[in-house]
Structures are given as structure tokens and as C-alpha cells.
Amino acid sequence: MVIEWLKIEVPPEIREKYIQKDAEIWTAFLATCPGFLGKEVWLNPNDPTAVTLVIRWETREHWKSISSERLQQVEEQFDQAMGYSYPIIDSAEYQVRKFPQV
């Protein structure tokens, strides 16, 4: 499993709208993509502007197989729904390592 980790800075007063629209647009789109396993939204109680998205993929190949054109279309749809573009301020990729049961 591969984790896509994204941190977005969102004004606290629109954070709930951002999370709702993200679920309606981005998560709905990702759910149609092969290899998508799920998504979580993490909120930092010490930083009300931080929204962290943790997206689980079966393999890196599944994740990276999504066309840039399609990603751009979904991004434009999301930005239009929000009325503004909220850039990703940090991102990372993680591989989940499983250990055998002893």
C-alpha cells in the first residue's frame, strides 16, 4: 500500500466547506480510480488552518496512472466550487511496510 499525504492551508472559517466539497468532488472522483483504497481528513487541533489529506492506494502504479488532464479537470471543478484555489503547501509519499506475525 502507498500513502499520498497532502497538507493544505485553509482559512478556519471555510474549513468545513472545504472538507465537504473535497468529499463531494475529489473523493468521489478518486473512488472511481482503480487502486483507490480510501481517504482520511486529518485536522490539527493546534493549527486550525491545516487540513491534511491521507489517501491510500493499492500500488504507486495505480496512483500515478491517473492522467494529468483528468486531474486538472477535477482541480478546476473543485476550485470553481470553492471560488478560490487552495494550494498544497506540503506533500509526501509513504509506503506501508507490513511485518510477518510472530
CA 18, distance to chain mean position in Å, is 12
In what helix (H) or strand (E) does residue 68 lie, and over which residues does it extend? Answer: helix 68-82
Mean pLDDT, the chain, integer: 96
What are the two backbone dihedrals, phi and then psi, of residue 70, each rounded to the nearest 5 degrees?
A: -65, -40
Count of Cβ atoms closer than 10 Å to residue 9 Cβ: 13
**What type of residue is 39?**
K
pLDDT digits (tens, 9 = 90+) for 9-40: 999 999 999 999 999 999 999 999 999 999 99
pLDDT (0 to 100) of residue 101: 79
Q: How far is CA 10 from CA 43, 44, 81, in A?
A: 11, 12, 15
Q: In CATH, what class is 2-95?
A: alpha beta
DSSP state at residue 83:
T
The pTM score is 0.92
pLDDT (0 to 100) of residue 98: 83
Dist. CA 35–CA 31, nearest whole Å:
9
Dist. CA 11–CA 6, nearest whole Å:
16
